[in-house]
Structure 1
Amino acid sequence: MARYHHLGPTAFLLPTAAGDLAAFLKSHNNSPTPNDRLCSLENFLSILIMENFVSKQQKTGFQDVEYYLVKWKGWPESTNTWEPLSNLRCPQLLQQFSSDKNSFLSRVKKGKAVTPKNSRKSLPPAVAEYIVKKAKQRIALQRWQDYLNRRKNHKGMIFVENTVDLEGPPLDFYYINEYRPAPGITINNEATFGCSCTDCFMGKCCPVEAGVVLAYNKNQQIKIKPGTPIYECNSRCQCGPDCPNRIVQKGTQYSLCIFRTSNGCGWGVKTLVKIKRMSFVMEYVGEVITSEEAEKRGQLYDNQGITYLFDLDYESDEFTVDAARYGNVSHFVNHSCDPNLQVFSVFIENLDTRLPRIALFSTRTIKAGEELTFDYQMKGCGELSSDSVDHSPAKKRVRTECKCGAETCRGYLN
């Protein structure tokens, strides 16, 4: 649920991500009855406003409606409820709250200590400092969220949430939508030929020409086994954008949330909507480097306890994707020894088998609010694997402890 701090008789909400509201409402089955609430409307102990709890683009059923979190007199905080403005009959309390909130924000922007005029005693310095830092963090995360959504080129929205600590946006991370080749590496993103099918689902389409079967069924779910490459229609094909063989190239269709984990795994990614099994979720993109450069960077990343290298060894072992500094949402997806995402190699415009695109598909139905994970040592894409430079016998590498918590956990990421 949302996090907040009391500031005297009123309180200021430190909002979390979209989707918390629905979860909060579902979890509070023992809240006061409608009659209890109507009888208590003039006796609030505190009211909190939730700002930007849902984007207008997100269809959750709450857009364009202002909700307040209400603490009911005589009831514990576990029974707090979200109420639309139309339910409130306490203009004086609302006016007081608005005044206190504006005063609070004004002082935060000026970097001053936060102490309401009508509070009986000042907050301890450490608490006041924490509130100011949390407010500044919220502003920084909101700006980063706006940046991510400006940069993305897909339908799904990106949200950011941190209810765990004071960590802000990563300072040295740049959002990209496709591979970024390192100097000296060329990626040809212009197809040399395409199909002339009138019905790619039934015709002799691009996959057949490549010697494989069509990867998708009529529900746009993947039907091939891991290890089989995906060949989608490209810009030279005569089929239109609704072709059933154009899935990965349309990008992420789901709204996702980059959130701070509470188990020591740093940032993670969760879905805000239900994802059906065998559905395309996202691509893994980053800087394309040589395997020799990957060996050098791998040693540094091992010492830092991070893993962002993904070998493109579908047929050869010449190139690696490094998502440490350049990447998309997949940069923040954590490892699990029992993942809900599976890796597939994809070819669309560029048919060079040394440079497949990396697509992540769901292995099962994923519930809204569930964290997305894939196995960093996953095999099955023509031996495509994350950080598989770990298999080099030339040096002894630092082993990174796995914190996935799965029953089948192997204990280490590498």
Structure 2
Amino acid sequence: MAENLKDCKVACLATFSQLESICREEGVICRDLGITKNNLCHFEVEYLCSYKRNVIKVGKTQEVQEFYLVKWKGYPESMNTWEPRKNLKCTDLLSYFWEDMMQELLRRKKRTVPKTLDASIVSHVIQRAKLRQTLKQWETHMNGLGTHKGCIYVENLVDMEGPPKNFTYINDYKVGDGISLNEVAVGCECTDCLNNPVEGCCAGASQHKFAYNDSGQVRIRPGLPIYECNKRCCCGPECSNRVVQKGIQYSLCIFRTDNGRGWGVRTMERIRKNTFVMEYVGEIITTEEAERRGHIYDKEGATYLFDLDYVDDEYTVDAAHYGNISHFVNHSCDPNLQVYNVFIDNLDERLPRIAFFATRSIKSGEELTFDYKMQSKCYSFCLIVCNEEAIFSGLLNLIYPK
């Protein structure tokens, strides 16, 4: 019996932060937590909890000194200490503290900062600090999953909502039970796919037009499919016909909207017209399974179903519990994103990859949107998206020419 327990593992219910606090409080060194003999007694500000002003007599004059209640990283709250402003070098944390405190004071219609903060304001500031930490951890997690150039940021200046529950961030399709993605067996033999395509490159082999110009901007009209070079092709990773597969190239921000629409997405930099922005990623399921889930989602008020009907109505992308940043993109009747169907390593026309391209030049700070009811000629799929604040139930009919 004892020998069988050698490989037995039990998940720890404490977080790394809690374990770190316990180790520092007890003076225990732990390499796995990064606590060594040299840094066991190091103090780093985790966040600021409260504020007060004291009048101190210096000689014949009186001076006002500011003090902040500091939560030290890796130490329990019982070891929080009051520190004078001159001891604190954490300018970002000071800015966050004043931003949160002033926002709460304004909400209470208080125009001046009191000498000491009451317990309710302190509680609000601490909750905001902890929320910011949670969102930062989520942000780090999402950026750690991909190798794409663009960074993902998260911001909530509106309420106390944290990362969505029961949602797993992924960068590629999650294939459901009974579904297989068949990889392409052949690739192009081009050395310069844009300027010297052999037999029309991958697009030509499928009797379609080459989709991109030399700047990576899509040059075919919405409705026509895009065939990118694949892993069997002779061209390299910098090929002009490899755009969507390189992933997100722009820095984007998931932000909390202030008008009841839940989360949204905005760009942190200017996006050129006709350039790739992101894919719609989720779990690929059958339409029968989508029908079953749809009834459940309707009751819960949280559905993200995207039907793929390029040839046959067989498959659906469900981004309710597995998805990427596109999960948070909101609807607009005047959208700045357009849907294209893309084929790369899988040429099964029943399973296109869904890519969003910019319909126009998009300014830095502008929210990204697409129309859940876009219409074009000859292709159809259905998307129903909603959240706790607003329920969008829309039939998206896109008809692509063959």
TM-score, normalisation: structure 1: 0.67
Map 1:348-363 to 2 at 5 A.
348-363=344-359
| Alignment: residue pair count | 303
Deviating runs (4+, > 6 A) in structure 1? 43-48, 99-103
Residue in structure 2 matching 1:244, options 231, 237, 240: 240
Report if the CA contact (8 A) 1:377-1:388 is conserved. Answer: no
In the alignment, is residue 177 of structure 1 matched against residue 180 of structure 2?
A: no
When residues 242 and 312 of structure 1 are mapped into structure 2, their CA distance, relative to the original with a 3 A threshold, is: same
Alpha-carbon offset, residue 243 of structure 1: 1.2
Q: Report % sequence identity.
A: 52
Equivalent residue number for residue 151 of structure 2: 157
Residues of 1 paired with 2:188 and 2:51: CA distance? Answer: 65
Report if the CA contact (8 A) 1:228-1:382 is conserved. Answer: no
Residues of 2 paired with 1:357 and 1:381: CA distance? Answer: 19
Equivalent residue number for residue 129 of structure 1: 123
In the alignment, is residue 345 of structure 1 matched against residue 336 of structure 2?
A: no
Residue in structure 1 matching 2:133, options 135, 139, 142: 139
Residues of 1 paired with 2:317 and 2:291: CA distance? Answer: 12
1:299-342 deviation per Cα after TM superposition (whole angstroms, max 9, x unaligned): 33233333411111111110000001101111111111211000
**SS of equivalent to 1:303:** helix
When residues 313 and 133 of structure 1 are mapped into structure 2, their CA distance, relative to the original with a 3 A threshold, is: same
Equivalent residue number for residue 257 of structure 2: 261
1:360-412 deviation per Cα after TM superposition (whole angstroms, max 9, x unaligned): 000000000111111122244852434279xxxxxxxxxx755xxxxxxxxx6
Residue in structure 2 matching 1:196, options 189, 200, 210: 189
**SS of equivalent to 1:8:** strand
**SS of equivalent to 1:159:** strand
Residues of 1 paired with 2:377 and 2:292: CA distance? Answer: 24
Residues of 1 paired with 2:163 and 2:234: CA distance? Answer: 43
Alpha-carbon offset, residue 241 of structure 1: 1.4
In the alignment, is residue 8 of structure 1 matched against residue 52 of structure 2?
A: yes
Equivalent residue number for residue 220 of structure 1: 216
When residues 98 and 388 of structure 1 are mapped into structure 2, their CA distance, relative to the original with a 3 A threshold, is: closer
1:253-277 deviation per Cα after TM superposition (whole angstroms, max 9, x unaligned): 0011111011111111111000000
Residues of 1 paired with 2:144 and 2:194: CA distance? Answer: 34
Map 1:14-413 to 2 at 5 A.
95-98=86-89, 122-188=116-182, 190-202=183-195, 203=197, 204-380=200-376, 383-387=379-383, 413=394
Residues of 1 paired with 2:302 and 2:296: CA distance? Answer: 9
Report if the CA contact (8 A) 1:216-1:244 is conserved. Answer: yes
Residues of 1 paired with 2:92 and 2:238: CA distance? Answer: 49
Residues of 2 paired with 1:275 and 1:44: CA distance? Answer: 49
TM-score, normalisation: structure 2: 0.68
When residues 382 and 160 of structure 1 are mapped into structure 2, their CA distance, relative to the original with a 3 A threshold, is: farther
- Greater Rg by CA: 2
Residues of 1 paired with 2:91 and 2:272: CA distance? Answer: 45
1:100-148 deviation per Cα after TM superposition (whole angstroms, max 9, x unaligned): 9999x9xxxxxxxxxxxxx965433322221121111111111111111
Q: Which structure 1 residue ranges, 5 or more long, are not aligned?
A: 11-42, 49-91, 106-118, 390-399, 403-411
Report if the CA contact (8 A) 1:309-1:323 is conserved. Answer: yes
Residues of 2 paired with 1:360 and 1:149: CA distance? Answer: 20
Alpha-carbon offset, residue 98 of structure 1: 4.8
Report if the CA contact (8 A) 1:377-1:385 is conserved. Answer: no
Amino acid paired to 1:215 = A
Report if the CA contact (8 A) 1:252-1:281 is conserved. Answer: yes
Residues of 2 paired with 1:242 and 1:229: CA distance? Answer: 21
When residues 44 and 280 of structure 1 are mapped into structure 2, their CA distance, relative to the original with a 3 A threshold, is: farther
Amino acid paired to 2:117 = L
Amino acid paired to 1:324 = A
Alpha-carbon offset, residue 286 of structure 1: 0.4
When residues 382 and 337 of structure 1 are mapped into structure 2, their CA distance, relative to the original with a 3 A threshold, is: same
Residues of 2 paired with 1:297 and 1:234: CA distance? Answer: 33
Amino acid paired to 2:140 = D
Residues of 2 paired with 1:224 and 1:96: CA distance? Answer: 60
Residues of 2 paired with 1:382 and 1:9: CA distance? Answer: 69
When residues 120 and 225 of structure 1 are mapped into structure 2, their CA distance, relative to the original with a 3 A threshold, is: closer
Aligned-pair Cα RMSD in Å: 3.3
Report if the CA contact (8 A) 1:229-1:381 is conserved. Answer: no
Equivalent residue number for residue 104 of structure 2: none
- Range moving further from structure 2, 143-152 or 302-311: 302-311
